[in-house]
Amino acid sequence: MEKSMNTSDDFRDKAMIAASSKHRDELLFSYKGILYPSTICYPETFKALESFEARRDDVILAGYPKSGSNWLSQILTDLIAISQKKTPGSESTVNAEEPRLIPFIEMGNLEKYERMTKLPSPRFIATHLRPENLPKSIFKTNAKILLLIRNPKDVATSYYHFSNGLPLLPSYETWEDFFTDFMTKKMAWGCYFEYLSEWNKYADKENIMTITYEEVKENPALSVKNIATFFGIPLTEEQLQLVVERSSFQSMKKNSDKTHGSFGNILFRKGGVSDWKNLFTEDQNEKMDRAFEEHIAGTKLGKKLKYDLYCKA
């Protein structure tokens, strides 16, 4: 996929330039009550998305920002290459005539959907959107969705550093200020807890598989195997090892110049579990624990997060 990020790179570069001339208050805009970065998402694209036609064999990745979407995108694009009898990362997986579109379905301009109609199956689609804001056709066709979730304390920690590193998002003078916004629905793509509550309504569906960042970290080989089985992609032991190797934090970080350009330096930060312990105060721990208990502890997704293991000191 190395050469295929050109379009994404161009798009990001333009967005960075646009962001640099915007005031902090203009970096986000609200659509149907949820905030989005105004340099990469546009109301007209959201409108057009409503009539987007999904395919039954689209490979869809859904995840709240900072849950590890770029990591799982790497795994899924390699699995798609294997399903097409190509070697992941080889030149044969790259069509120079058709530079790859930015995979997040809600980012970019209208022309993107027209181009997506011409892409061969299976298409890879990523999204940070809540289910009620996704095109209805995704649920009508029963396309398979991999839902990626990560513990809220590490998500907040990662999001804080990302916001301060990426010009497209409002930056914060203090962690305290960020934490207040995170807990009061002021993040791009909305509130973490609402995101999980909404997706929890779909968690029992057969075409949805939920995976946690922490479990992929704990056992990448088993996770890749399970993901491949879910999407019906047979894998040899050798192919499995290749996908695991190429998606390790070290490999992705090392390769990030080619795959993500300057954005890579901001994105591939620590890639671990429990970095929240370096930021959260006792008071913030209590607030987060209470919010988790109130909103999602009792749900299927809440239980899957193993909050006590990953979020209690």
Closest separation between CB of residue 143 and ligand A3P, Å?
A: 21
Per CB under 6 A, 24 contacts ligand A3P: no
Which residue among 68, 108, 122, 135 contacts ligand A3P (CB under 6 A)?
68
Which residue among 66, 123, 260, 295 contacts ligand A3P (CB under 6 A)?
66
Which residue among 14, 32, 136, 270 contacts ligand A3P (CB under 6 A)?
270
User: CA–CA separation, 62 vs 146, rounded Å?
Assistant: 6
Nearer to ligand A3P, 137 or 171 (CB): 171
Closest separation between CB of residue 73 and ligand A3P, Å?
A: 8
Please, are residues 181 and 187 in contact by the beta-carbon 8 Å criterion? yes
Between β-strands 34-37 and 28-31, what pairing exists: parallel, antiparallel or unpaired? antiparallel
Which residue among 275, 285, 289, 291 contacts ligand A3P (CB under 6 A)?
275
Size of the site for ligand A3P (CB under 6 A): 21
Non-local CB neighbours of 115 within 8 Å, separated by 6+ positions: 101
Per CB under 6 A, 163 contacts ligand A3P: no
Per CB under 6 A, 45 contacts ligand A3P: no
Nearer to ligand A3P, 55 or 253 (CB): 253
Per CB under 6 A, 124 contacts ligand A3P: no
Which residue among 86, 185, 246, 269 contacts ligand A3P (CB under 6 A)?
269
Residue 272, judged by CB atoms within 10 A of its CB (0-12, 13-18, 19+), counts as exposed
Of 23, 128, 260, 295, the catalytic one is 128
Per CB under 6 A, 135 contacts ligand A3P: no
User: CA–CA separation, 289 vs 284, rounded Å?
Assistant: 8
Six token digits for residue 161: 């550093």
Cβ count near 21 (within 10 Å): 8
Closest separation between CB of residue 164 and ligand A3P, Å?
A: 11
Non-local CB neighbours of 216 within 8 Å, separated by 6+ positions: 68, 71, 72, 223
User: CA–CA separation, 138 vs 198, rounded Å?
Assistant: 16
Non-local CB neighbours of 283 within 8 Å, separated by 6+ positions: none
Cα separations in angstroms, 191 against 93, 108, 134, 233, 294:
37, 22, 16, 34, 14
Closest separation between CB of residue 21 and ligand A3P, Å?
A: 25
Per CB under 6 A, 136 contacts ligand A3P: no
Is 128 annotated as catalytic? yes
Please, are residues 84 and 1 in contact by the beta-carbon 8 Å criterion? no
Q: Which residues, numbered 166-225, are part of the site for ligand A3P (CB under 6 A)?
A: none
State the catalytic residues. 128
Q: Which residues bind ligand A3P (CB under 6 A)?
A: 63, 65-71, 154, 158, 161, 247-249, 252, 267-271, 275
